[in-house]
Amino acid sequence: MQTVTVSELYKALAVACKAGYGDKKILLSNDDEGNGYHECFFTVSTDLKKFRLSYNDLPYGVDVEDAEKDYVIIG
């Protein structure tokens, strides 16, 4: 499974809004297999350094430096 980019999510959400889903609440998957879900409580965080991430916080294969450079957080 490939990680979703901000641009891909933006396009998908625009389609959902146009289809009348703009007022729906968001559930996020707990993992890449859809084993449980939780509500989305905040939008886009771009300054990952303020989260003081550790390797234990991140998914397998993503290190802190890559997360700070290549990722945003929603949730």
Cβ atoms 55, 63 nearer than 8 A = yes
Rounded mean pLDDT of 54-59?
93
Report how far Cα 36 is from the mean position of its chain's Cα atoms: 15
pTM: 0.87
Say if residue 12's pLDDT is above 90. Answer: yes
Rounded mean pLDDT of 56-62?
93
